[in-house]
Amino acid sequence: MQIAVFSTQPYDRRFLDEANDGVHEITFLEPRLAPETAPLSATADAVCAFVNDDLGAEVIEMLAACGVRVIALRSAGFNHVDLDAAAALGIAVGRVPAYSPHAVAEHTLALILALNRKTHRAYNRVRDGNFALDGLLGFDLYGKTVGVVSTGNIGEVVARICVGFGCRVLAHDPVPKASCCALGVEYVDMGTLLGASDVVTLHCPLTHDTCYLIDEAALAQMKPGAMLINTSRGALIDTRAVIDALKTGRLGSLGLDVYEEEEDLFFRDLSSRIIPDDVFARLLTFPNVLITAHQAFFTEEALTAIAGTTIANITAFERTGEVLHPVHTARG
Ligand code: NAI
């Protein structure tokens, strides 16, 4: 099949070429998929897209007009796809349901540990010849309570690691898991989790129900001075409400790998430009905020698995008319 790969970075090319091994004809395109760039898929049967590509109804209609029959997402999340539009136009949508939950879970712990022990500040201080410790005081993670919002593939690994640290782990998920209960994880309602946790970490998908899950009201329920971590999707958090909570000291620290308006920022080198997003720029001014640019998935193992499953989805579609890992609408 002819595949148009949008939002290509050098590493995408490397891992997809290896997984493809010459089977499909791949065109690597740097631009993000959007109404202006959709015509670049004019000769493609398949479009391969990433998390910040625009797969709204307008773009999907343009892809259908180009003759595209399948969309292969290089991601687990599919909140950016208008599935109803795809279904109506007979375009199959495949995703990579699980690649390396360890990659995201381990990055989540990296954020928790760095924020707690202020490693990001210590790194700069030591390089500047400042060996004073004042301002770097942390706490033992051992014995603290970590609230894991959603114990899917990633949340379960986070819970397992936190149990290993000697933490008490609370979880909230509409579908509790026996494997987590066996670890000693206690399932509680969201209010109890927010009120009792020293660290709250988000691992649910972005849906209508979870959009702005952490808003002003949720922040008011959190333990004063608690840490909030989001490696899931930016819009789980109302960023303006979080900034207010940071300013009053109500929220102790914030670790983000995702941001609700990240489409115009992440995955690009903007170091010589002015950041036009004032909300994001304000976040960067807090010493107790640590942001990475959607890199939690970024390990050799995860990229190998993502590329392998993406190509397998397309190959299966070519052979059978069905992708291996379909994403359906709520209506089926
Ligand atoms: P998963 O599908 O294995 O688990 C999702 C869990 O969320 C399930 O246990 C489900 O019951 C629960 N859930 C659904 N609705 C909920 C609600 N309203 N409230 C609470 N829990 C709810 O997903 P997985 O693989 O663990 O990934 C989680 C999310 O992590 C993805 O949706 C994606 O947004 C994000 N992600 C971020 C990456 C990054 O690089 N930062 C990479 C991969 C995923």
Give the tens place of pLDDT for each residue, 251-260. Answer: 999 999 999 9
Dist. CA 273 → ligand 1 center (Å): 33
Which is the closest atom of ligand 1 to the Cα of 98? 25
Q: Which of 7, 11, 96, 104 to mutate to test the pocket of ligand 1 (most atoms within 8 A of CB)?
A: 104
**pLDDT tens, 26-69?**
999 999 999 999 999 999 999 999 999 999 999 999 999 999 99
Give the list of residues 6+ apart from residue 196 with CB closer than 8 angstroms, or none: 145, 147, 170, 188, 223
Residue with tokens 């004073």: 132
Give the CA radius of gyration of the chain.
21
Which is the closest atom of ligand 1 to the Cα of 172? 20
Dist. CA 272 → ligand 1 center (Å): 34
Asked whether the domain spanning 101-291 has the same topology as the one spanning 2-99+300-320, the reply is: yes
pLDDT at 329 over 90: no
pLDDT at 330 over 60: no
Q: Which of 153, 185, 204 to mutate to test the pocket of ligand 1 (most atoms within 8 A of CB)?
A: 204
**pLDDT value of position 331:** 42
Is residue 260 within 8 A of residue 211, CB to CB? The reply is no
Which is the closest atom of ligand 1 to the Cα of 101? 25
Q: Which residues of 188-221 are buried (b: 16+ CB within 10 A; e: fewer)?
A: beeeebbebbbbbbbbbebeeebebbbeeebbee
**pLDDT value of position 99:** 86
Write the class of the CATH domain 101-291. Answer: alpha beta
pLDDT at 165 over 80: yes
> Is 262 in the active site?
yes
**pLDDT value of position 281:** 97
The active-site residue out of 203, 233, 260, 325 is 233
* Residues framing ligand 1 (Cβ under 6 A): 76-77, 98, 101, 104, 149-155, 172-175, 203-206, 209-210, 231-233, 257-258, 294, 296-297
Residue 46, CA distances (Å) to 26, 71, 93, 213, 292 in order: 9, 6, 10, 34, 31
Write the class of the CATH domain 2-99+300-320. Answer: alpha beta
Give the list of residues 6+ apart from residue 287 with CB closer than 8 angstroms, or none: 121
CA distance 208 to 54: 18
CA distance 265 to 280: 10
Is residue 228 within 8 A of residue 255, CB to CB? The reply is yes
Amino acid letter at 21? D
pLDDT at 278 over 90: yes
pLDDT at 332 over 70: no
CA distance 160 to 145: 13
Give the list of residues 6+ apart from residue 10 with CB closer than 8 angstroms, or none: none
HSE at residue 305, side-chain half, CA atoms within 13 A, is 17
> Is 156 in the active site?
no
Give the list of residues 6+ apart from residue 11 with CB closer than 8 angstroms, or none: 298, 303
Q: What is the domain partition of the chain in residue ranges?
A: 2-99+300-320, 101-291
Is residue 59 within 8 A of residue 15, CB to CB? The reply is no
CA distance 252 to 90: 48
The active-site residue out of 61, 156, 260, 262 is 262
- Cα-Cα-Cα-Cα dihedral sign, residues 214, 219, 222, 224: positive
CA distance 320 to 189: 43
> Is 294 in the active site?
yes
**pLDDT tens, 284-311?**
999 999 999 999 999 999 999 999 999 9
**pLDDT value of position 322:** 97
CA distance 65 to 59: 10
CA distance 162 to 204: 17
